Homo-oligomer: A and B are copies of this chain.
């Protein structure tokens, strides 16, 4: 049968990305403490296409994703998936985004009841020749309680669910568990969320938020400071969006920074590679 995709093209346009999107498959994601969890993945996988070829071979992307859907992965394995992709598709560059809901065990703040909380997580990677960029993102919901409302009112203060969307790109050779990113962000709202709260827990989170009022600006700044101090992060983007309980629209604050090269703390380096060269960041 004729290979239509393999025919030549004469428009002189090298395509940056061509591939598949919205591919749902189960994946196994490595957990920090041990083992891995089965997640529902939503994958986007693509390669570049030189100007002389008419099309790519989409079925190979699906084969690669099926192959990897049953092997435990962390962000680090994305490099391997993309190396296979480049080889199978005969491409220089490859790009993968894998989004999924990820569950982390936590305990109610007073009663100590164990429970699972869900977070939207995204692993992304780009391989371009010898350059690799690994990005991990998490949407972390928190409570924010308005400092202005608290100050000007005789009692009460409006508060609401807000989402902190953080994406970080690792310094070459470094790595952060998504569980650690989530814990870092979760501590920076007026209070963190829990799936299950008994009465004593509800009293705790209500008072904790009231004692700790924060604008979206405050949460953003605290996350920015934390990321600037994080040696393993070379670039980050953070968006804090608050589903205001007093409005029918949202408040938000947003920041994107490429970090300066940081002095290397030897403890932090243990177990990671040495290459800390800043890589030119690109918009995804």
Q: How many copies does the complex hold?
A: 4
| Min CB gap A214→B, angstroms | 10
Known contacts A23-B195, A161-B244: A252-B13 contact under CB 8 Å: no
Beta-carbon contact of A4 and B148 below 8 Å = yes
State which of B116, B222, B284 has its C-beta within 8 Å of the C-beta of A25.
Answer: B116
Contact A24 B196 (CB under 8 A): no
Which residues of B sit under 8 angstroms from A200, Cβ to Cβ? 1
A225 interface residue per 8 A CB criterion:
yes
**Chain A residues with a Cβ closer than 8 Å to the other chain, count:** 103
Chain B residues with CB below 8 A from A278, complex form? none
Q: List 29 A-B contacts (CB under 8 A).
A: A1-B203, A5-B215, A9-B221, A13-B220, A15-B253, A15-B255, A18-B251, A18-B254, A19-B251, A21-B250, A22-B249, A23-B249, A25-B103, A40-B40, A44-B252, A49-B217, A59-B196, A59-B197, A66-B195, A149-B206, A153-B206, A153-B207, A155-B207, A158-B202, A158-B205, A159-B159, A161-B243, A161-B244, A193-B247
Given contacts A20-B250, A49-B253, A161-B243, 16 further A-B contacts (CB under 8 A): A11-B221, A13-B255, A16-B255, A17-B253, A24-B249, A25-B103, A59-B197, A62-B196, A66-B115, A146-B202, A149-B203, A152-B199, A156-B159, A159-B159, A161-B245, A194-B246
